[in-house]
Amino acid sequence: MGNPLRERMIKGLQPGDTFCFSRRFSQKETELFGDLTRDYNPVHYDARWTRSKGFSDLICHGLLVGGMICEFGGQVGWLATGMRFRFLQPVYFGDTIECKITLTRLEFDQAGIQRTSRGRRRVHQSKGMAGGLGRHDGPAAAG
């Protein structure tokens, strides 16, 4: 069985196309992300600190969750030139997160080669909205 995202890219993407995928983040993944980015904010590591800030438990790094959009971009061979996020509520370890990407605009050059795209991304938590809303803009493929 092939890769569904790549197969869809080969057939041709259209405005309105929607892609969904989900995952759960572990504490270990957040710790690894913190080591890579050197983001050691106590809300990810110290339960006492986290509770003092109004959270019920340790939370995942927001950009780790926001990075779910990279699964889509990487599979279809797109390079991002920008992303915007709003974090509306925390994501806790073990929460099921769904990322839904809807393409809103594709632009082509005179030869019909896709050059840029724009889309909306919504990240939903099993118990409501999480992670936030995003938009990606950028070149459609390396060139």
The predicted model scores a pTM of 0.73
Q: Where are the alpha helices (DSSP H) in the chain?
A: 4-11, 27-37, 47-52, 62-66, 69-76
- What is the Cα Rg of the chain in Å? 17
The domain spans of the chain are: 4-24+60-139
CATH superfamily for 4-24+60-139 is Hotdog Thioesterase (3.10.129.10)
| pLDDT in 10s for each residue of the chain, 143 residues | 577 777 777 777 888 888 888 889 999 999 999 999 999 999 999 999 999 999 999 999 998 988 888 888 788 777 777 777 778 888 999 988 888 888 877 776 666 555 556 666 666 565 544 444 444 444 444 33
